[in-house]
Structure 1
Amino acid sequence: MANKYPPFVFGQPRFDQSSFQGRLRHFLDVVDPRTLFTSERKLKDSVKLLDDFKKGTLVSGVSNKEAIIHPDTGEKIFMPFRMSGFVPFGTITVTGLLLPSQGFAQMIFWQWLNQSHNACVNYANRNASKPTPTSRFVQGYVGAVSAAIGIAVSLNALLQKADKFSPAKKMMVQRFIPYPAVACASTINTVLMRNHELTEGIEVVDDKGNVVGTSKIAAKKAVTQTAITRFVLPAPILVIPPIIMTAIEKTDFIRKFPKMHLPIQAMVCTVCFGLALPASIALFPQIIEIDVTNLEPEFREKTSRQTLFFNKGL
């Protein structure tokens, strides 16, 4: 039991964040869809429990705060844009992206819907130590969605010109087009939606939580690592389901019950999404340690601490 639930340390994640396994177990709590149904009263009780905490072991309710409240603003994240809401609300768009034989309008619609949701998730889970003007959000949103649609349209246009492919092979390749389109667009989406951090910098704190200063170097590292997770995230979601569905489509069951195709595809997408999300965001810790020598020179004059910290965001 001690290995499964290590001793609770106030202000620290339950599991060791220096290892991928520890981060994975931590983010499995953060993305748990059950937290979407946490009542306002239970959330307040959880926050109060943490505020009053002095000693003891981890008790039920601690993960509610991490999954619902933004660590920088202290405010509730809107339900569809929480990490715990990413899978339940995002599965609809993922399923739509993978629908076979899509027309041009359908493809545009699903790419727009997917990147709109991604943009809001990126914004809601950003490092919010500095306020972001609404104009920056709008600019980032327009750029991100335009990039997604542009990439998807370009790839489809290239596919249509590939005369050497048979119709069956074209359809097969078309089912895999969403991955490069979404992966590239999601990466651009992250950079554009968090561009304000790159230009203004983010707050860096010491081990006591005291703000030491604002760093553009830390911001670049935070946005870069988050962008990498967004590039990796769509791979199992958009590559594995087409392989599974291609095999399922050859079975007598689907031939006999063709209406089961969509619900089966939705179930496959949900499972892949649910496994891919915690694994991808666990690639890097949310709270990053950085040596003061790797920050701007003025930080060495502001503190005697050798190691500082910043919130990467999710």
Structure 2
Amino acid sequence: MAESVACPAFQLGKPRYDQSSFLGRLRHIIDIIDPSTLLVSEKRLNECVKLLDDFKHGTLPSGVSDKQLWEAQKVKQAIIHPDTGEKIFMPFRMSGYVPFGTPIVVGLLLPNQTLASTVFWQWLNQSHNACVNYANRNATKPTPTSKFIQGYLGAVTSAVSIAIEVSHLEPEIAMATDCKVLTYNKGL
């Protein structure tokens, strides 16, 4: 999105856009899921982290603009977990959700799936969701691993069960629709 107003003054750890308006929240989300952050090199990431550290310690070099600081914060927040300080594996970043999740959605929508392919795509989808949720979790409050496993197994079991049941009901629904069409046409 193009800048329609001047770049706001940089505030470390704060959102760039006004969170009290819909447009500000939308622009913030677009920043979070921006897939261009997946292409950031290690060197560029280190430069961004250093720039933010310099700002934090009051040793910022002259000539650094607010726009550069906002971009550095965007890059750091997209790649580094705020609680652990570790890099988030690329497919599990919020910016990776669309590029890595889209092939899974396409797989889920494939027509005439076998039982094995239905189970595979549902399992893959729930596994990806679980990994995204785990990678972006609140790490300040430790959660037992058993809770994550329990949630994961519940999600996979539910998704696979529902998908299999719906695929078995599909012919019956199609037949019921055909009967309805015949009934309506007969009455004409």
TM range (shorter): 0.7 to 0.9
Q: CA deviation at 1:158?
A: 2.7
4+ aligned runs moved over 3 Å, structure 1: none
Following the alignment from structure 1 to structure 2, what is the Cα–Cα distance between the partners of residues 104 and 35? 37
Q: Distance in 1 between matches of 2:108 and 2:73?
A: 36
Unaligned runs of 5+ in 2: 182-188
> What's 1:92 paired with?
103
- Aligned position for 1:77: 88
Give, in whole Å, the separation in 1 of the partners of 2:107 and 2:66: 44
Bigger strand fraction: 1
Counterpart of 1:38 (choices 24, 37, 40) is 40
Match of 2:67 in 1: 58
Q: Does 1:126 align with 2:137?
A: yes
Match among 16, 28, 31 for residue 29 of structure 1: 31
User: Which of 114, 122, 129 is residue 111 of structure 1 equivalent to?
Assistant: 122
2:149 corresponding residue in structure 1: 138
Q: Where in structure 1 are there 5+ consecutive unaligned residues?
A: 170-314
Q: Which residue of 2 aligns with 1:160?
A: 171
SS at match of 1:161: helix
- Compute the displacement of 1:4 (Å): 5.5
C-alpha deviation, 1:110, in angstroms = 0.9
User: What residue is the counterpart of 2:186 in the other structure?
Assistant: none
Q: CA RMSD in A?
A: 2.2
Asked whether the 8 Å contact 2:15–2:28 carries over to 1, the reply is yes
Shift in Å, 1:2: 6.5
Question: 1:20-58 deviations in whole A, cap 9, x for unaligned?
Answer: 221211121221112112112211211111121148523
C-alpha separation in 1, matches of 2:143 and 2:161: 26
AA of the residue aligned to 1:45? E
Aligned residues: 168
Amino acid at match of 1:41: K
Evaluate the alpha carbon distance shift between residue 4 and residue 123 of structure 1 in structure 2; reply closer, same or farther with a 3 A threshold: farther
Query: Do 2:52 and 2:72's aligned partners in 1 also have CA atoms closer than 8 Å?
Result: no
The residue that corresponds to 1:9 in the other structure is 11
